[in-house]
Amino acid sequence: MSAVASYGSPSRDDFAALLDESYGKNEAFEGTVVKGIIVAIEKDVAVIDLGLKTEGRVAMKEFTNNGRDELPGVGDEVEVYLERIENALGEAVISRDKARREESWVKLEKAFERQEKVEGIIFNQVKGGFTVDLDGAMAFLPRSQVDIRPVRDVAPLMGVPQPFQILKMDRRRGNIVVSRRTVLEESRAEQRHEIVANLEEGQVIDGTVKNITDYGAFVDLGGIDGLLHVTDIAWRRVNHPTEVLSIGQTVRVKIIKINHETHRISLGMKQLLDDPWQGIEAKYPIEMKLTGRVTNITDYGAFVELEPGIEGLIHVSEMSWTKKNVHPGKIVATSQEVEVQVLEVDAVKRRISLGLKQTLSNPWESFAERFPVGTEVEGEVKNKTEFGLFIGLDGDVDGMVHLSDLDWNRPGEQVIDDYKKGDVVKAQVLDVDVEKERISLGIKQLAGDPFVARVGEEGGELRKNAIVTCEVTDVKEGGIDVSIVGTDLTAFIKRSDLARDRNDQRSERFAVGEKVDARITLFDRKARKVSVSIKALEMAEEKEAIANFGSADSGASLGDILGAALRARTEGEKK
């Protein structure tokens, strides 16, 4: 007996509950991938039985996967994505593309976790990059991640299956970012490592110039680049690599250094040639004069090529005898042929010091020969300083007139104001120091020394200890001013030198115009100074009298002795 017979016919409520229970179970499959059987193909549309008391339809083109998969037939089992159990027509809403996308996401997430590469196809260009099909899942390829170097034409890469590296995934937002550049860099690194492992320092190898920069050229050694620095192209100076190399040129190079960590390779061409610096000291001895070509000019000097690969430096201090603060470019020019002299050779540091001025006559030596000490010269005032005047002289040299050599009588600080820049003056050569490159001049010497004029070239009778007659010109508390009779010289006799006895050392004893005898105690021609003393004369006379007329020990008094000396002196004057 049936359940209906046993329990009676089901009510409308019971049927609704059974229907809801059945529909609820089926609803749980929505949003998942389910399996179904193709029961019919109608006009490029497959009718699929999902086993849920419902059927759905999928366009046949969704099964081709852009032509990569074969079309299924009636009776084949397929996987589809169930979006909804039933639409308005009572059919299930299903999609093969979305099913494939779900499958791809599962595979891609596993590949992303394991950092594995995935295969995809670039099929569309969008803003900032490209769209990549990763077997149903769409990913974004930024333009910067397409290649190691910027790609101008991406057409050859479109529609071609190739590996990519997943950089970022967001399942909730459906975002995937991939990189082709990462794959290429990894492949390149493996290739570089393999190539570097087969190279050795000192090895000679052929390469192709791939790129040229200001500092050198990159040479392709067959999958890896090496740097040929501009200083290693040739032994001679190369200002820019394009002087010797061109892109695409095949060159033979020597591996100088290999960095196995960074895979950087340093190359050299000049190392394949003989070193021109070998035995350089014997080839270019000190003081040797030769001709070279100026190759480069800097602030500190000029480089001169003596032969291919050998250059010397003319320091700015060795360029001119007289031009001290001039840029080398104002003395020599690039490519100019110049005569130089070898000053120093350092084979270890590969340096040769050259001199340009040494090939020319020393203007100070020439001046000394033409204008010996005492010669009168003429020149223009080039500069005024706190210590004197600089005069421009023949031979493009300067001489200096010190403040003390401007005038005999007035201080130099006052006299220098009488001169201005540009004045043409005459002077006398006082000294020429060739080694120190100095010429000393004097202006006051042209007028003659008034001191000599007053006392005579040899000083006449004026000398130390000589007795002179002086005329008092002024009486002061501390002494008296006097003039030496017969000369233009003046002196000051201080109080302590006015007399031998302290009681007589009073300046008021003397009157202006009075004449007195005194003894010269100082006669300095260089300092131009004369000192006289009455006391010194009295003491000298006393000493002489004692020597000639007896001593105090003989019983005669000092007055007797001096009296006798005075009488003798008076009698002598009468005769």
The confidence band for 542, taking pLDDT boundaries of 50, 70 and 90, is confident
pLDDT over threshold 80, residue 283: yes
* 228 pLDDT above the threshold of 90: yes
Rounded to 5 degrees, what angle do the CA atoms 508, 513, 518 make? 75
Chain centroid offset of residue 325 CA: 20
What is the rounded CA–CA span in Å between residue 127 and residue 134?
Answer: 19
Place of tokens 């046993």: 6
Q: Which residue has the higher pLDDT, 300 or 187?
A: 300
Could you report the per-residue pLDDT of 133-190, keeping only the tens digit for each? 887 788 999 999 998 888 888 888 988 899 999 999 887 787 899 999 998 888 777 7
Q: Which of 65-79, 105-119, 188-202 has the lowest mean pLDDT?
A: 65-79
The rounded mean pLDDT for the chain is: 82
- Write 408-417 long-range contacts (CB < 8 A, 24+): 408/444, 408/447, 408/449, 408/450, 408/451, 409/450, 412/388, 416/384, 416/388, 416/389
The per-residue pLDDT for range 252-279, each reduced to its tens digit, is 999 999 887 777 889 999 999 888 888 8
Q: Report phi then psi at 439, rounded to 5.
A: -125, 120
Beta bridge partners of 132: 122, 139
pLDDT tens for residues 23-52?
Answer: 444 455 676 767 888 778 878 887 777 776
| DSSP output for 230-260 | GGGT-SS--SSGGGT--TT-EEEEEEEEEET
**Helix %, strand %, coil % for the chain, to 5?**
30, 40, 35
| pLDDT value at residue 495 | 93
pLDDT(458) > 80: no
Whether the predicted pLDDT of 60 surpasses 90: no
User: Would you state the structure tokens that stand for residue 22, as one six-digit string?
Assistant: 């059945």
What is the radius of gyration, based on Cα positions, of the chain? Answer: 58
Residue 452 confidence (pLDDT): 62
pLDDT band at 466 (very low <50, low <70, confident <90, very high): confident
Please, is 570 exposed, middle or buried when counting C-beta atoms within 10 Å of its C-beta (0-12, 13-18, 19+)?
A: exposed
Q: What percent of the chain has pLDDT over 70?
A: 84
Helix (H) / strand (E) containing 417: none
What is the average per-residue pLDDT within 109-116?
Answer: 88
Cβ neighbours, 10 Å, residue 535: 21
Residue type, 9: S
Residue 349 in this model has a pLDDT that exceeds 50: yes
**CA quadruple 93, 96, 98, 102: dihedral sign:** positive
Q: Which two tokens stand for residue 340?
A: 């130089």
- At residue 217, the pLDDT reads 93
Which position has the higher pLDDT, 94 or 312? Answer: 312
Average pLDDT over residues 46-60: 76
pLDDT reading at 532 higher than 70: yes
What integer pLDDT is reported at residue 164 of this predicted model? 94
pLDDT band at 567 (very low <50, low <70, confident <90, very high): low
**442-to-73, 428, 454, 479, 526 alpha-carbon distances in Å:** 124, 5, 21, 37, 16
Residue with the bigger pLDDT between 105 and 575: it is: 105
**183 Cβ contact list (under 8 Å, min separation 6):** 117, 163, 164, 165
304, 292 contact by CB (below 8 A): yes
pLDDT, average across residues 374-396: 91
DSSP annotation string for 277-325 = TTTHHHHS-TT-EEEEEEEEEETTEEEEEEETTEEEEEEGGGS-SS--S
Predicted local distance difference test score (pLDDT) of residue 16: 43
Query: Binning pLDDT at 50, 70 and 90, where does residue 3 land?
Result: very low
Average pLDDT estimate for 459-483? 86
**Whether the predicted pLDDT of 546 surpasses 60:** yes
In this structure, how many other beta carbons lie within 10 angstroms of the beta carbon of residue 378? 12
Which is more confidently placed, 250 or 17? Answer: 250
Six token digits for residue 335: 């490519």
